[in-house]
Every structure is written in structure tokens, then in C-alpha cells.
Structure 1
């Protein structure tokens, strides 16, 4: 089974986004939630992730509001699929700014 981690980096400041709530979902159900640490990271959501289709949802709107900035996007979400490969790790970062966000597959 696979494992999953994430981090959130605010490219408008060059700093990690601490205190952002991120949800792991499948078929509209929340499987786990976490809050980014001082480094903007969540090391693990669940001990193992079976093969399937999932969604990570980061509540970035609340974070921008708390830091005194407006954003068009209340959340950012990454839809992804895990395969049958044993011991595969997925690191899916969010790169955010008030005017947009992006992702990539990290390591």
C-alpha cells in the first residue's frame, strides 16, 4: 500500500504555510484531516493508502484571511490515483499565492 504526505508553500512570500487544514477524501467522504506544521508539512495522513482515486483539499482561503490577504480561492484540491505498487510514496505539495495555486508530484 501507498503512503501520502503534503506541504504548502506560499510563493508570494517564499514561506511555508503553517496552520492550513488539509483533508484527504475519497468518493466525497473525508478519510483523514491534518494541519500543516511550522514547516508547512503534513508527514502522513493515514498509515497506508490502498489503490484508488482520492482528493486532497487544502483550506487556503482561511489561511490567507488569517494572514491579512484576500484570495479568489477558498480551497485548492488535488485529485490523484494510487496504483497497486507496494510501498509507493506520494508527496503532493501545494504551491499557493493569493491569485492562484499549483501542484506537482514531489518525492
Structure 2
């Protein structure tokens, strides 16, 4: 099996997919970050295709950055000019040729993630 990476964002405060969130994927090596992909979540809170498809998959350390600020502002989930959550980075490793799914469960003042399927 060849590896690939998918993600999605769920708005746990509203109980629905989070549409319109920009996501950037970086390959991490030491102190170096190299952007390798960007995507925006669709109406299902998912990207239209794997954010890291099989033909680009490599084992190693990666970081997804979820740009949630505009989404939270749009839904009135801010208090003043300084946001509690704006950009959410999730760093993780992929050590085998497999499907990795790294979702973001989002609310205005907290988030979580896990390795999904």
C-alpha cells in the first residue's frame, strides 16, 4: 500500500463541518519547514483531494497549519481584536506507507486531533 494524507475540520461548537478553512502542509526537517501543499475545506469540511497524495508521499515529519481565524470571525466567535485561536499548527510523523488522516476538531476556545482512518 502506498501512503497518503487526508484531513478535515469539524466545528464541534456548532456540530457541523467547517467550510472555507485554508490549510497549509509543511515538510519539517530540523528547524527547516518547506511548504508542499495548500487546500481549502469544502462544504463537508474536507479537502477535495488528499492534501498529500500517493505520488508525493514520503515518510517523515510534517506540520499542518489550519488558518481558522477568518472562519471563527465569520461566525462571531471572537472577543475583541485579539483571537484566542487563529492559526493552529499540528506537527506529526508518518513512519510507514499507509493512509494517515489528521482531522481538526475545532471550537472557539479549544481544539483536538487524532490519527483517524
Same fold (TM over 0.5): yes
Give runs of ≥4 in structure 1 deviating > 4 Å.
none
Matched with 2:73 is: 65
How far residue 46 of structure 1 moved from its aligned partner, in angstroms, is 2.8
- For residues 41-52 of structure 1, the aligned pairs below 5 Å read 41-42=46-47, 43-48=49-54, 49-52=57-60
**In 2, distance between residues paired with 1:105 and 1:64?**
24
Q: Over alpha carbons, which structure has the higher Rg?
A: 2
Structure 1 range deviating more: 43-52 or 7-16: 43-52
**In 1, distance between residues paired with 2:53 and 2:104?**
21
How far residue 14 of structure 1 moved from its aligned partner, in angstroms, is 0.2
Unaligned 5+ segments in structure 1 are: none
How far residue 26 of structure 1 moved from its aligned partner, in angstroms, is 1.5
**In 2, distance between residues paired with 1:92 and 1:36?**
13
Structure 1 range deviating more: 10-19 or 63-72: 63-72
Q: Tell me the matched-pair count.
A: 105
RMSD between superposed Cα atoms in Å: 1.2
Unaligned 5+ segments in structure 2 are: none
How far residue 47 of structure 1 moved from its aligned partner, in angstroms, is 2.1
